[in-house]
Amino acid sequence: MAPSVPRTRAAAALRMKQIALDNQDRTIRRLRAQLATERRGLAATKKELMETQVALEASHKVIAGLTEIGLSMSKKIEKMKVKKQLVKENHVECHQKFQARIHEAEDSMQVQHLLIEALVDEKDSLLQTIHDLQEANNAPAPFDGDWEEEPEEEPEEIEDIPLGEGEIDDEYDIF
């Protein structure tokens, strides 16, 4: 019996080593399959990363373009605001000039009205003097003493146009 025990032990040890090698072989194959799967996943991730990078670069270009457009529009808006302010200032100046002209015309009309009244009074006075002289000289009156005066016309009142009213086409009004 003694001689078969070492053989049995050696065969069992060999069998154990064979089982261990088989287990290691299966583990290696399983790990290689996992490695291949991981490599495929990494390749897909790398491809996605490259596509994302390309998309990101394109987005940066679009953002840069939009920023340029925005800056350009901001400059245009500022120019339009300045133009609008100038138009408003011009409108106010014109309004003030027209109001000054209207007041000048009203003043002139009042002066003319006073002058006409003075002339009418002077005419009445002259007619009365002529009448008195004719009576003093016993001359026949060329007209009877009751003449009709023309009705006096009241000057038309021109209203002030309030500042800020009126029809102004404000084509630059953005806001």
Residue 99 contacts residue 164 (beta carbons within 8 Å): no
Helix (H) or strand (E) segment spanning residue 162: none
The CA distance from 23 to 29, in Å, is 10
> 109 vs 161, which has greater pLDDT?
109
The mean pLDDT of 15-41, rounded to a whole number, is 95
Task: Tell me which H or E stretch contains 167.
Answer: none
Q: How confident is the model at residue 1 (pLDDT cuts 50, 70, 90)?
A: very low
Cα torsion through 137, 138, 144, 146, rounded to 10: 60
Which residue is it, tokens 């002030």?
Answer: 160
Q: What is the pLDDT of residues 60-97, one digit of tens each?
A: 999 999 999 999 999 999 999 999 999 999 999 999 99
What pLDDT does residue 72 have?
A: 95
List the Cα angle 110/112/114 in 5-degree steps: 70
Q: Sign of the CA dihedral 86, 89, 91, 97?
A: negative
For residue 175, name the pLDDT band (cuts at 50, 70, 90). very low
Specify the 3-state DSSP secondary structure of 142. Answer: coil
Tell me the pLDDT band of 9, cut-offs 50, 70 and 90.
Answer: confident
